[in-house]
Amino acid sequence: MANKNLDDYKNISFYKKNSKARDNGFAKFTEGDEHYFALYKDGGIALISQAYVNVAGRDNGIESVKKNSKLKARYKFDTRAGTKHGFSLKAGNGQEIAVSPDYATLAQAEYVAGRLNGSVKAKPKAKPKAAAAAPKKARKANDEDNYQRLAFYEKHTKGRKNGIETFKGDDGLYYFAYFENSKIRLISEGYPTKTARDTGVASVEKNIKIEKRYDYRGPFKNGKYDFRLKAGNGKEIARSIWYGSAAAAATGAAYLMGTRKRSAPKKKLAAAAVAAAAVPAAAVPAAAAAYRAPVDKDDDYLKCEEYHGHKVTDKVNNVAFFSHKNNQEYFVLYDADGDVRLRSEGFNSISKRSSELAAVLRLKDTKSAYKRIEKNGYYMDVLYDETGREVGRSCLRKIKPVVAAAPIAAAPVASAAAAIPAAAATGGGFNWGFLKWLLPLLLLLLAALFLMKSCKPKAPAPIALVTCWDGSEAEGFNACPDKVTCWDGSFVKQASSCAPEPVTCWDDSKAETLETCPVKPAPKPEPEPKPKPKPEPVAPKPASIPAGYPLCGPSNTAIFNVPTYQTPANVRRLGTYPEFGDSHGLSPREFYNKLQSRYNSNSFDASYLNYLARSLGYAGGFSEMSASDFSNDTLAKGSKGLLGYGDQHAYAYSQLNVSSSRDLEAFRVRGANGQTVHFMKTCGNYMYVCE
């Protein structure tokens, strides 16, 4: 049951569980030391009672319901928690004797009240259809409250590119849906009025761009994820559709916040390009057909520094997801020190990224799945899946230098002259025909030896430097200076370089040291406590007065002793002699807190409140009472009883003939002994209404 300050009543399920259902009539039951009743109408509960301390009081309540339920004037309708509706049944003196359950609409509450007082006939039962309707599917995990299925919102909206579309549903409630990229991304609950719905729309437009207003949830039992959009006070104002993964939900929210933009649609190929693509393969020269431009695998990866510093999304596996300005999706697997262990290529969709990550998590600890690539003094580990397809790679790391062995001396090369047979120098008997073929070869060998001696070794390719956290450059992130995080979130190379952390002084201000804090003033001497007046003795309630039934007449308890032999004072206006002051605008709990403050600060008020509490059955005095004993009420004009007045808390036999209905509003106080009293909101004066 929605809270209408119905502190005297239990939840409707309590009455259903403990009372035997019936078509029409009263069900009576006892729970612990308390007694209750429920009135059934048309097979459902129409009225419920508060707790009674004895059976006689409960049965008197039933008789009062029978007497007053036939009178339309005895029904008071109200709105509960802003969206629910109900009514209460009053006695002739304005005393509440029973209340209804909550209803979704005022029309439903009025129908049940009409059935009780006889002004409305029962609705005819629907005739059974030829074929039973298909049973409704169970609501999904995020369909609680007044949310409907996604098909409900698609059915009632015309569809738009971006923004909010509002509509009224078949159930009479008001809804809205938020579109992004021509699809529904956010849905609302059902609102009882158009004004309430439009307030929700304004709240969505105000908060949708604020990142901290999003609350991510999942996985649910169906394996799905979603997020909720909340207002600044933490109240939920809209909910997302289902997403297949936490990363997909986060990306969907990013589109709504505007932190991520959708890529422009790809342009169609020009006619010339299409025509060129249609040229038969036979028309292309064989050499051109065989040539393929080399594909640089690194083009699919970002620079390694792009993978640093992202928020970890999967804390179990230490994985972060992020979207790049190139409209590609990436993931990175960090090691225990927060450095990049494995990085991914770019993906066009979140589903492809998730599929690739699954392979990485499955093989990340399998040594045989890695292959090391070394180049220019650096290495990189590449991870492959079972089919030999690359699924991730590490960042470049510097190869540790290895001490080289002493160079082996090259054997001297014999001179070309020595290779010429001696006979060639003499010219006697040598076959010059052979020499004419050998001389060109010797000349080529001499030229090669000359070039080998004159050429210098090629300088190694320059090593690419990375930018460290402090702006310096190094040969890889492992060579960067140490990074120390200070108390204020700044970074330094050494802990000693951090700024000194300020201390908190006695007045919550900050200072460098305790010695520099402001001087604490000397405490003021506490005033000597005034002796509390001895409270009046509490006399037992006469057995002749049933508990919980306010009767007029003599009583040994002063605040219930009504001199009916006198003519009551005719009170036409309240507020001239206040006891606890104007309390309009306060809730029952806030009025209780007001009395609690007076109880703690004023010894005379404390004595009076203790006497009042003990008269209501709280043996320990006012300290045993709680805010749950207070509720809102409105007295009937012409009510008679004892009305308090003034700072001295005096009483006078009075009749409320006030001209303003505002002066009839009061706080009802329930006693432990079944007795009830009131405090008038206009003046805060005590009022005991009797019959």
Could you say which DSSP state residue 565 is in? T
pLDDT at site 171: 85
pTM: 0.28
Please classify residue 106 by burial: count the beta carbons closer than 10 Å to its beta carbon, then call 0-12 exposed, 13-18 middle and 19+ buried. Answer: middle
Helices (H), 192-343: 194-207, 246-257, 271-277, 286-290
* Residue of 609, 661, 667, 607 whose CA lies nearest to 637: 661
* Residue of 1, 88, 3 whose CA lies nearest to 588: 3
* In contact, 511 and 505? CB cutoff 8 Å: yes
* In contact, 246 and 225? CB cutoff 8 Å: yes
From CA 307, how far away is CA 301, in angstroms rounded?
10
Structure tokens at 267: 């342009």
Give the pLDDT confidence of 268-320 residue by residue, as tens digits.
Answer: 444 434 344 443 433 433 333 333 333 334 457 999 989 998 989 888 899 99
* Backbone phi and psi for residue 251, each to the nearest 5 degrees, phi listed first: -70, -40
From CA 326, how far away is CA 295, in angstroms rounded?
19
pLDDT at site 374: 87
pLDDT at site 164: 93
From CA 173, how far away is CA 167, in angstroms rounded?
9
pLDDT at site 436: 58
* In contact, 629 and 669? CB cutoff 8 Å: yes
Integer angstrom CA distances of residue 407 from 135, 226, 403: 88, 67, 12
Q: Which domains does the chain show, CATH number per domain?
A: 12-117 (2.30.29.80), 150-257 (2.30.29.80), 303-398 (2.30.29.80), 480-525 (no CATH), 558-689 (no CATH)
**Overall size of the chain counted in residues:** 691
Show Cβ contacts of residue 312 under 8 Å, excluding neighbours closer than 6 positions: 318, 319, 320, 334
* In contact, 555 and 561? CB cutoff 8 Å: yes
Angle between helices 588-601 and 603-615 (to 10 degrees): 130
pLDDT at site 4: 40
Q: Is 196 helix (H, G, I), strand (E, B) or coil?
A: helix
Asked if the bond preceding 219 is cis, omega within 30° of 0, the reply is yes
Q: HEC string of 625-687?
A: CCHHHEEEEECCCCCEEEEEECCCCEEEEEEECCCCHHHHEEEEEECCCCCEEEEECCCCCEE
Helix (H) or strand (E) holding 298: none
pLDDT at site 180: 92
* In contact, 307 and 469? CB cutoff 8 Å: no
Helices (H), 86-128: 106-117
Question: How far is C-alpha 88 from the chain's CA centre?
Answer: 35
From CA 502, how far away is CA 520, in angstroms rounded?
18
From CA 524, how far away is CA 479, in angstroms rounded?
62
From CA 495, how far away is CA 485, in angstroms rounded?
8
pLDDT under 70: residue ranges of the chain: 1-8, 21, 82, 124-145, 263-299, 401-441, 447-464, 466, 476, 526, 528-549
* In contact, 678 and 641? CB cutoff 8 Å: no
Region of residue 258 (phi > 0: left; psi between -120 and 50: alpha; otherwise: beta): left
pLDDT at site 628: 92
From CA 364, how far away is CA 319, in angstroms rounded?
12
* Euclidean distance between the first and the last CA atom of the chain, given in angstroms as a whole number: 31
Integer angstrom CA distances of residue 67 from 70, 71, 333: 7, 8, 75
What is 604-621 written as a DSSP string?
A: HHHHHHHHHHHHTT-TT-
pLDDT at site 665: 95
Strands 650-656 and 569-571: parallel
pLDDT at site 449: 67
pLDDT at site 265: 57
* CA-only gyration radius of the chain, Å: 44
From CA 642, how far away is CA 687, in angstroms rounded?
6
Strands 390-393 and 466-467: unpaired
* In contact, 503 and 516? CB cutoff 8 Å: no
* In contact, 691 and 677? CB cutoff 8 Å: no
